[in-house]
Amino acid sequence: MIRHCGRAGVLLALVVLSCAGLVEAHTHLKTSSPAAGATLANAPTEIRLQFHEAIEASVSHVSVETKAGQAVAAGAPASDPSDKTALVLRLAEPLKPGAYKVNWRVISADTHKVKGSFTFQVRP
């Protein structure tokens, strides 16, 4: 009985763990500026990502690329000093008209990695 109980315990742990899958998201992207799917009349000078939890900027990554996959020049992402849940990427120069994709990978304060991407357009 005891042996069965032990085996059942280990089996249950394995079954539940196997249900876990490759989950990594803890915080979530709440809003962004530009917003996902937005079409802008004025070219943005920065990308601002707002999350639910505090983000560690020094180990996070944000990049912008053109529709052709060419990287847009920008600095390193930095925290907003007044809001640790926001990450800001300053662009080297205003974007030219066209479609852009923002790729982000952030580490929340509880050490978990979250990543995603979204697109927006700048009108001619």
Partner 1 sequence: MELFWPLLVARWLHLWSLLALFGAALFAVYAPPGGADALDKFKAWLAAIALASGVGFLTLMLVDMTEEVDSLFSPARWHALLLDTGFGRIWLLRLLALAALLLWVGGRRGRPDAWHVDAALSAALLVSLAWVGHAGAGQGADGFAGMFAYGCHVLAAGAWLGGLLPLSFALANARRGGDGKRLCAALERFSRLGMAAVALILASGILSAGLNMQGFADLGRTLYGRALLGKMALFAMLLALAAANRWIFLRQLRRQAGLGPIRALTKTVAAEHAIGLGLVALAAALSSLAPMD
51 vs 25, 68, 70, CA distance in Å?
12, 28, 26
Tokens of 95: 């974007």
Interaction site with partner 1 (CB under 8 A): 2-3, 5-6, 8-10, 12-17, 19-27, 53-54, 56, 58-59, 61, 105, 107-113
- Tell me the three state secondary structure of residue 20: coil
State the nearest-atom distance from the C-beta of 53 to partner 1, in Å: 5
State the nearest-atom distance from the C-beta of 109 to partner 1, in Å: 5
Report whether the peptide linkage leading into residue 77 is cis, meaning its omega lies within 30 degrees of zero. no
Tokens of 110: 């509880």
State the nearest-atom distance from the C-beta of 106 to partner 1, in Å: 9
Decide: 90 and 75 in contact? Cβ < 8 Å. yes
State the nearest-atom distance from the C-beta of 108 to partner 1, in Å: 6
- Parallel, antiparallel or unpaired: strands 39-40 and 113-122: parallel
Give whichever of 38 and 78 is closer to partner 1, judged by the CB atom.
Answer: 78
Give whichever of 8 and 99 is closer to partner 1, judged by the CB atom.
Answer: 8
